[in-house]
Structure 1
Amino acid sequence: MSEPVTDPVAGPLAEIVADVLPADVPEAVIGDVIAELLPAEGPQVLADDPVEAAAAITELVEAATRQVFAPDPLADPVAALTTPAPEPADPATSAAARAGVDIRPVDTHVDVAAAVSVLDGVFAPGAGHHFYPPSLLRNLLAAGAPMLLAWDNEMPVGVVLALPGWTASGQPLVQSGPMAVLPTARGRGVSVALKLAQRAWAIDRGVTEIRWTFDAMAAVNANLNLRRLGATVEAFLPGYEGLRDADSHTPLPYDRLLVAWHLTGTPAVPAEGAGTLVWAVAAARDGLPVLDPTWAAAPAALVTVPADISALRRDDPAAASAWQHAVGAVLQEALAAGWQAGWDPRGAYRLTPPPTH
């Protein structure tokens, strides 16, 4: 966040900004946008001539609220002219209402600043640098990337990024990227609302599949993706993010699961399995993981993960690494052998072997 302007024209300029901008735009977001658009020599240039400064700020603020050029590579231009716009998908609308948010596309510089502020608040708090710089988001928008913001009145509280693309067979695909919800807005279903809005965006463009990866050790993410949304685990990707940053809490690169969210038909639900469940990975009394090597012969297996892997990585990196080794070994072996992975309400992956013929 830039330092506030303290020169004599600050008061009048604030009034001009208030007159130009919609009333529901957060002040913090506008401050970031204006700071970014100001000349490199800084706010002191505003003190030269109040009239010129007022005109300059007016122009800057108007530029900030202009739309970012965002072509839609998955849209059908002919259908757009001949087909009425579809009604919003009921699940997405209902989810947003339950979460108490309004979900809108990112399409102006103000929206970009809002998205950056949410991403920074979740992924880079106090870091002194952006998690994703505004220029990157603007370039993604220029390529037609769908980005959605969740607004709680005038406050941006959640964002999900994505890229349009195509499968190996040439079918349209949405590759979903980072999703962030501010801590003050969690527990309300904002993540579900964002994903369902993303789903509606994709369906409107004839897309039948959304893919993304998530931290295999993150219980909250696994519950959302596999149990609540019904995505299907496609693969285990060890060390997907490469070498960790120097300030990482764990020496290991994070393992990730690749999931596919099929938007047509009934979501695939892994079979419950019959017989006795085996805890392939469970927590011992000392909090470390215990592996049961007989899991591969069981009719179904559970793989527990820590309830808060982020806290464990921060407070006990050695224990976090032990958990990642144990969980990753089982998930990698099971998925490579054709087992299906779902999420069990007991806080564990539920693995079921492939059907026998």
Structure 2
Amino acid sequence: MKKGITIKQITQLDEVKQVQHIEQLVWQMNPIPFHQVYTAVNNGGILIGAYDGDEIIGFLYSFPGYKEGNVYLCSHMLGIHPDYRKNGLGTKMKKLQKDIALQMGYKLIVWTFDPLESANAFLNLHKLGGIGRIYIENHYGVMDDALNSDLPTDRFLVEWWIDSKHVADLRDKSKKTDFPTNVIEYTDKGFPIIADSFNPVTDATVPVPIQFQKMKKEDLQLAIDWRYKTRRWIQQLIADGYAAVDLTQYPEEKINLYRFERVSMLLL
């Protein structure tokens, strides 16, 4: 029974240990050693917990990163108990992460996500204002957990420029990308298929299936086909100077559409 949800930054060792329970529940694998997480949060990292009363129901873990003379925050894990999903907890934790990161002097937060997990894309791009202009093939290699097995672990690298005009203004949410009705078909099970004639450059869009995990369980070959087609389309747009900036949802058509804009036009 929900007693009242609270979200706060975690800094104490006993609270860090509590996170391991929800981490193991969400990913069904061994959690990060608590002493590593505790060290990170005391050296520039940020750990956020969501609670129902005294029970931890979600967490968001990030640690400092460094490349080419620039310091940024690596947002490594966001996990929410299955009974508390789809109620905005992820967005609330990310916004608290942003506020704390700005206070600490960070300007950029980065993380990765599977481009075919469009619920994550909707949060990362549409709600938060992140952008995707780096696509990494098979980033983690072979993984055997339930979410990643049987497919290359391709990832978008999200750049969240938390002090930018792009994030402050976000984008006009009334802008809706046209659905590509001329190239969509469906299998006997109702899964979408995109014709080989689809050209992402025409409208700077890339479609992805809504129920990708269900597709993977019931039609693995189709899921593999989606992986390689979307990889090719996204890499083509990135090579042409575009970045993914939004995701439009079409639940009735069982498709979501990434929208891309030229990086030179973004106010980062």
TM-score (norm. length: structure 2): 0.81
Alignment of 1:76-91 (within 5 A): none
Asked if the contact 2:46/2:61 (under 8 Å) is kept, the reply is yes
Q: Structure 1 residues 289 and 108, CA, compared in 2 at 3 Å: closer, same or farther?
A: same
Instruction: Tell me whether 1:348 sits opposite 2:251 in the alignment.
Output: no
The residue aligned with 2:226 is: 323
Q: Structure 1 residues 233 and 158, CA, compared in 2 at 3 Å: closer, same or farther?
A: same
Instruction: Tell me whether 1:132 sits opposite 2:41 in the alignment.
Output: no
Instruction: Tell me whether 1:338 sits opposite 2:241 in the alignment.
Output: yes
Correspondence for 1:306 among 209, 216, 221: 209
SS at match of 2:72: strand
Q: Higher strand share goes to which structure?
A: 2
Alignment of 1:12-27 (within 5 A): none
Asked if the contact 1:338/1:353 (under 8 Å) is kept, the reply is yes
Deviation at 1:186, TM superposition (A): 1.0
- Whole-angstrom CA distance in 1 between matches of 2:182 and 2:110: 27
Deviation at 1:314, TM superposition (A): 3.1
Deviation at 1:176, TM superposition (A): 0.6
The residue aligned with 1:218 is: 117
Q: Structure 1 residues 326 and 105, CA, compared in 2 at 3 Å: closer, same or farther?
A: same
Deviation at 1:297, TM superposition (A): 4.9
- Whole-angstrom CA distance in 1 between matches of 2:137 and 2:65: 24
Deviation at 1:354, TM superposition (A): 6.8
- Whole-angstrom CA distance in 2 between matches of 1:302 and 1:279: 13
Deviation at 1:353, TM superposition (A): 5.7
* Higher Rg of the two aligned structures: 1
Give CA-to-partner distance per residue, 1:190-212, whole Å, 9 cap, x none.
Answer: 00111001001111012111111
The residue aligned with 1:109 is: 13
Deviation at 1:355, TM superposition (A): 7.4
Deviation at 1:159, TM superposition (A): 0.4
- Whole-angstrom CA distance in 2 between matches of 1:293 and 1:256: 24
Deviation at 1:280, TM superposition (A): 9.7
- Give the alignment's Cα RMSD to 1 decimal: 3.1
Q: Structure 1 residues 280 and 105, CA, compared in 2 at 3 Å: closer, same or farther?
A: farther
Asked if the contact 1:119/1:180 (under 8 Å) is kept, the reply is yes
SS at match of 1:103: strand
- Whole-angstrom CA distance in 1 between matches of 2:146 and 2:6: 36
- Whole-angstrom CA distance in 2 between matches of 1:197 and 1:205: 12
Identity of aligned residues (%): 22
Asked if the contact 1:281/1:303 (under 8 Å) is kept, the reply is no
Asked if the contact 2:142/2:149 (under 8 Å) is kept, the reply is no
Alignment of 1:214-293 (within 5 A): 214-245=113-144, 250-267=149-166, 278=180, 282-286=184-188, 287-293=191-197
Deviation at 1:352, TM superposition (A): 4.4
TM-score (norm. length: structure 1): 0.62
Asked if the contact 1:279/1:292 (under 8 Å) is kept, the reply is no
Instruction: Tell me whether 1:181 sits opposite 2:64 in the alignment.
Output: no
Deviation at 1:222, TM superposition (A): 0.3
- Whole-angstrom CA distance in 2 between matches of 1:275 and 1:137: 41
Q: Structure 1 residues 242 and 137, CA, compared in 2 at 3 Å: closer, same or farther?
A: same
Q: Structure 1 residues 279 and 264, CA, compared in 2 at 3 Å: closer, same or farther?
A: farther
Equivalent residue pairs, number: 251
- Whole-angstrom CA distance in 1 between matches of 2:126 and 2:177: 22
Q: Structure 1 residues 135 and 163, CA, compared in 2 at 3 Å: closer, same or farther?
A: same
The residue aligned with 2:253 is: none
Q: Structure 1 residues 106 and 274, CA, compared in 2 at 3 Å: closer, same or farther?
A: closer
What runs of 5+ residues in structure 2 fail to find an aligned partner? 251-255
Deviation at 1:292, TM superposition (A): 4.5
Asked if the contact 2:114/2:154 (under 8 Å) is kept, the reply is yes
